[in-house]
Structure 1
Amino acid sequence: MSDEGANKRKASDLFVECLESEGVEYVFGVPGEENLDLLESLSDSSIKLVLTRHEQGAGFMAATYGRHTGKAGVCLATLGPGATNLVTAGAYAQLGGMPMLMITGQKPIKSSKQGRFQILDVVDMMGPITKSTHQLHSGDNIPSRLREAFRLAEEEKPGATHIELPEDIATEETDANPIPASLARRPSAEEKAVRHAVEAIANAEAPVLVVAAGANRRMSSNMLREFVDKTGIPFVTTQMGKGVLDERHPLFLGCAALSSGDFCHRAIEDADLIINVGHDVIEKPPFFMRDAFDDPKACATVIHVSTKTAEVDPVYFPQIEVIGDIANAVWQIKEALEPQPHWDFTRMLEYRQAEHDHSKPLENDTRFPIFPPHLVRQVRKCMPEDGIICLDNGIYKLWFARNYTAYLPNTVLLDNALASMGAGLPSAMMSAMLYPERKVMAICGDGGFMMNSQELETAVRLRLDLTVLILRDDAYGMIRWKQANMGFDDYGLTFGNPDFVDYARSYGAEGHRVTSSEHLTDVLAECRDTPGVHVIDCPVDYSENDRILNHEIKELSAQL
């Protein structure tokens, strides 16, 4: 008897085998009829399907899985409207450096009797927001296309990839087999580049370290900590670099949450050399380079340490580039560099002390509705050292980025890349799934929360333990603030809200309403210590944002 055809199986079965070969644990999504073969294949696999209430929530969860683990998270949608609903999450992962694979269905491509119903060119649509996008034309091509999609999603800079699996391809018979991942390591930085960097740092008078988005990877944290401890060079983080190093460190100068003029920006201006680790163009650097011909004294030397060469623009044109695996590059520099007696960080540390002195009385302001600096302080006191906060997007993000002390990597998940609203709750849900032993809190404005609030049902169904802190100002507060700053009348940015306590209970979650500053402390502790999904309605007072963030901080730091 011939063995020909003995290994034949449905292409959708092979597709799932390839996902298992890549170590996929979850597929998040909203399936449609074009995904039914794949759905059946998933039902007989080791992979857990997490059914969400909207494709965007599925995409945000998959991206957050990638952010935490370094492995591509996987999400699923049907054709047409299902695929378009993944676009925001795809862009979120792509800009934010989060490995993710999007899988979408499609009508039969070899013969179809439905005309153009629901049919868009999804592959073309995904092109600008992914590292790769491909429509499968044969079941035999599934192993190579999936292996390539995962490879591209996970290599530096991580991001989104997309595969379209048409209905008729999913039902094909194939005897192809999964392709295992190859052993690959990123190249090490070139020795001469490291030597130039070490010489420049040693000869500087006041070097400073900037930890940016690309440094927020496994191993980089350990090497950067060793670098700071050995050299004694102070450090600043960008928003996406927050948590890479423990911010309780005495050499931490602050997070560059504001565009300019904050105490940490003044500290950077005092440096004559900047070691910029993991700079990503999605984040504006917390300093502007100046042309040495215009003002030689104002031109600090910038060392660019990253996996890729710098993208030069009018304000960023580093003089030295150390290109290769970031952790290895930092280790090489650290091993060759000794602390120098002529380094002087006095002014930098004075700026940091001034920031502490300015923040302390704000944190103790117990007015009601809750004052943002006091809110940040109470959340920090409530959360354990390894607790995870997941920020949606709104003006409160500036306060948390600037004032919340991060102790460990990936314990402050915020998005300073696409900066999409609606990601806070799904991101927290994914964090709670991955780390059920840790405390997780989503922090959302009322506008951002309502964009994916339906995922409360998903969180309750999955029996997750998490707190959702809704900061209510009954408006799109960030834009309303900018509207006022630009001299426009208050128009078009206020709205009404449901009763969030009743709303939470309608999904089977617990609802809580904050009635005073003291009550906030008690509610946060109760939600932290009680299993289940908890939703907190917390009124906030943003009336001082302009005075403090736009004027007071910048004026005080300029006086030093």
Structure 2
Amino acid sequence: MKASDLFVKALEQEGVEYIFGIPGEENLDLLESIRSSNIKLILTRHEQAAGFMAATYGRLTGKVGVCMSTLGPGATNLVTSAAYAQLGAMPMLMVTGQKPIKASKQGRFQVLDVVDMMRPITKYTAQIVSAERIASHIREAFRIASSERPGATHLELPEDIAVEEVNPNLIAESTIRRPIAERKAIDRAVNLIELAKSPLLLIGAAANRKMTSKMLSRFVDELKIPFVTTQLGKGVVDESNPLFLGNTTLSDGDFVHRVIEHADLIINVGHDVVEKPPFFMRSNEKQVIHINYNAAEVDQVYFPQVEVVGDIANGVWAILEQIKPQAHWDFSYFDKVKAAEEKELPHGCDDDRFPIYPQRLVADVRKAMPDDGIIALDNGVYKIWFARNYKAKKPNTVLLDNALATMGAGLPSAMAAKLVHPDRPVMAICGDGGFMMNSQELETAIRLKQHLIILILRDDAYGMIKWKQANMEFEDYGLDYGNPDFVKYVEAYGGKGHRIAAADELLPLIKSCMNEHAVHLIDVPIDYSENDKILNHELRILSSKV
């Protein structure tokens, strides 16, 4: 068969459902092979958005998301989404085209060394130099992309290789069982937990995959040990659980930092160094158990005394099998902090001031979304409010990026989530700055006939940087811009546009949009003026009194 047909057959064997991207002339043989396959091409309006969609597909399914581009400028447009998948541990394969490598007639027109370009930001990258190597390259790219720690891979398929004739030689996926932790490590962890006075469970990014949610929920329910989460650990255990003590959203000064400081043992499950450190170890006074697929990366602020390395769910189960709640465990201080936090969090949730206040925004979105509804956040100061105040009740229902933390990913991520979960409500929440970086994908969502709600939080500025600028006592400069009429903008694509003029209009409008199948965009003017006051000064004073 033709090499491009073999390439697509190998993708089908790997279970690929979608390929996101923009083909070029160097991909035309591959495009024809896709046309006659079971794989659906999702044509996007920018390669970066295609990469974000593929990465989010990988994040939600655990399977490798696939995206494609042509050579040169198409391939360079995938760089940000490659870094997004790599830092965020999302399994993804990028397929890029290339000029003929055996007999080029155009010199170096549009030709870059894409393989070398991708090397620092992928787990695996290769140029296919022979059709006979296609099957092995694809199997290896999928194996590496999905193995712990997951991430981005890349294959370059040159135009002349794609048309070669080749004998079918598919390679089947092998059966792999993840290693489990050594028994001695389990015993040491059990001993530390039993001896602790005030143990605390911390759930991080790596715990948010491979179905660890069920086992960690059992751990919390049976041992009654309170827990906190990082931003990428949100929702692994239901955050409406009374033992949930908060999300490590801010660097310091929040209520959650009081319980971290007080705990004499932290059971750190799924720690990933790409996230801001949820705590610092400054001496051996605080004991730390590291439970993860991989060994700890030790530095001056993280040096766990016990490492339980292997499949996370199995490690948690093995510990749970050997331990019961201890009579000497004392969580009274944690209870005190929890009470103070629960008193503070509702502040501003019913504030009628307009433009809308972040606390009111978060509260109304939480009221509107069902437990399994998915919100996909772009990157901006509002992400802090949602991470801190929005209680996630199921895994992967709050899609935020606390790794690369790039702008522009919110809308494409929501679109991918809707493809994976077509029967669940999905909402993209974007600042006006981040939204405009990939706003052209409105056309893609409308072409796909998706039912999607997009909140545009409009402050006509790069709000997070503006906040930081003021907080660092710089002059207000260089961060304000103009915006289109967002209602007319989405309507020009064929979607439904809405704008609120009062805070109490948002919740009923969201509910109304949920009942009408369309791409809905809601222009939400927002007021960040008290961010610094609330998140820095007042919060530190309040939490320090606990």
CA shift at 1:177, angstroms? 1.6
- Find the aligned partners of 2:301 and 2:34 in 1 and give their Cα distance: 49
In structure 1, what is the Cα distance between the partners aligned to 2:513 and 2:300?
Answer: 48
> Residue type matched to 1:34 in 2?
E
Residue 67 of structure 1, CA deviation: 0.4
Q: Distance between the aligned counterparts of 1:177 and 1:507, measured in 2? A: 45
**What residue number does 1:85 align with?**
77
C-alpha distance in 1 between matches for 2:304 and 2:115 = 37
Give the TM-score normalised by the residue count of structure 2.
Answer: 0.99
Counterparts of 1:335 and 1:551 in 2: how far apart (Å)? 44
Alignment of 1:351-366 (within 5 A): 351-366=337-352
Deviation digits for residues 307-347 of structure 1 (CA, Å, limit 9, x no counterpart)? 10000111111110000000000000111111000000111
Q: Deviations over 1:505-532 (max 9, x none)?
A: 0000000001101111221111112111
Question: Percent of counterpart pairs with the same letter?
Answer: 66
CA distance in 2, matches of 1:124, 1:513: 46
Of 57, 61, 67, the residue aligned with 1:75 is 67
Please state how far the C-alpha of 1:302 moved relative to its aligned partner: 0.3
3-state SS, counterpart of residue 346 of structure 2: helix
- Find the residue that maps to 1:173 and give its secondary structure: coil
Aligned mates of 1:467, 1:288 — CA distance in 2: 39
What amino acid sits opposite 2:528 in the alignment? Y
For 2:347 and 2:267, the matched residues in 1 are separated by: 33
Partner residue in 2 for 1:388 = 374
Gaps of 5+ in 1: 1-8, 293-298
CA distance, structure 1, for counterparts of residue 55 and residue 244 of structure 2: 29
Is structure 2 residue 432 aligned with structure 1 residue 440? no
Residues of 1 paired with 2:338 and 2:161: CA distance?
60
Deviation at 1:363, TM superposition (A): 1.1
Pairing 1:2-13 to 2, within 5 Å after superposition = 9-13=1-5
- Which residue does 1:29 correspond to in 2? 21
Q: Which residue of 2 aligns with 1:313?
A: 299
- Any unmatched runs of 5+ in structure 2? none
Q: Counterpart of 1:142? A: 134
1:176 is displaced (CA, Å) by 3.4
Equivalence for 1:105: 97
How many angstroms apart in 2 are the aligned matches of 1:529 and 1:342?
Answer: 52
8 Å CA contact 1:109, 1:168 repeated in 2: yes
From 149, 154, 163, the equivalent of 2:146 is 154
SS in 1 for 2:319: helix
Equivalence for 1:252: 244
Q: Distance in 1 between matches of 2:47 and 2:351?
A: 41
Alpha-carbon distance in structure 2 between the residues aligned to 1:488 and 1:267: 34
Residue 52 in 1 paired to residue 44 in 2?
yes
Give deviations 1:170-202, integer Å, cap 9, x for gaps. 011100321110010101110000000000000
Report the Cα distance in structure 2 between the residues aligned to 1:58 and 1:14, rounded to whole angstroms. Answer: 23
Contact 2:347 2:359 in 1 (8 A): no
CA apart distance, 1:434: 1.3
Normalising by structure 1, we get a TM-score of: 0.97
Decide whether the 8 Å contact of 1:29 with 1:76 is kept in 2.
yes
Contact in 2 for aligned 1:268/1:348 (Cα 8 Å): no
Give the deviation of 1:366 after TM superposition. 1.6
1:218 Cα deviation (Å)? Answer: 3.0
Give the Å deviation of 1:540. Answer: 0.3
Q: State which of 328, 341, 359 in structure 1 corresponds to 2:327.
A: 341
1:559 aligns with 2:523: no
Supply the distance in 2 between the matched residues of 1:142 and 1:70 (Cα, whole angstroms): 23
Counterpart of 2:88?
96
Among 496, 511, 521, the residue aligned to 2:482: 496
AA aligned to 2:536 is N
CA–CA separation in structure 2 for the residues paired with 1:527 and 1:314:
50
Q: Partner of 2:365 in structure 1?
A: 379
Moved more, 521-530 or 198-207: 521-530
Look up the equivalent residue of 2:174 and give its one-letter code.
S
**Kept in 2: contact 1:432–1:464 (CA 8 A):** yes
Q: CA deviation at 1:285?
A: 2.5
- Return the alpha-carbon distance in structure 1 between the equivalents of residues 335 and 143 of structure 2: 43
**Residues 115, 126 of structure 2: 8 Å contact kept:** yes
Letter in 1 for 2:186: V
Q: Which residue of 2 aligns with 1:5?
A: none
- Matched AA of 1:232: K
Q: 1:361 aligns to what SS in structure 2?
A: coil
**Could you tell me which amino acid in structure 1 is paired with residue 171 of structure 2?**
I
| 1:535 partnered with 2:527 | no
Query: Which of 454, 459, 462 lines up with 2:440 in the alignment?
Result: 454
Counterparts in 2 of 1:201-212, with a 5 A limit? 201-212=193-204
Provide the rounded CA distance (Å) in 2 between the counterparts of 1:310 and 1:521: 44
- Structure 1 residues 215-224 or 93-102, which shifts more? 215-224
Question: What's 1:514 paired with?
Answer: 500
Choose which of 161, 172, 175 in structure 2 pairs with 1:169: 161
Match of 2:173 among 175, 181, 193: 181
Question: How far off its partner does 1:290 sit?
Answer: 0.8
Q: Match of 2:272, as an amino acid?
A: D
Structure 2 counterpart of 1:433, one-letter code: L
Counterparts of 1:210-289 in structure 2, within 5 Å, are 210-289=202-281
| AA matched with 1:199 | N
Equivalenced residues, count: 546
The residue type equivalent to 1:56 in the other structure is Q
What SS class does the counterpart of residue 282 from structure 2 fall into? coil
Is the contact between residue 20 and residue 41 of structure 2 (CA under 8 Å) also seen in structure 1? yes
Aligned with 1:302 (options 283, 288, 294):
288
Report the Cα offset of residue 392 of structure 1.
0.2
Give the whole-Å Cα distance in 1 for the aligned partners of 2:510 and 2:168. 53
Partners in 1 of 2:457 and 2:509 — Cα distance?
14
Q: What RMSD in Å do the two structures reach over aligned CA positions?
A: 0.7
C-alpha distance in 2 between matches for 1:32 and 1:475 = 35
Q: Does structure 2 retain, via aligned residues, the 8 Å contact 1:509–1:533?
A: yes
Q: 3-state DSSP class of the match of 1:74?
A: strand
SS of equivalent residue, structure 1 residue 363: coil
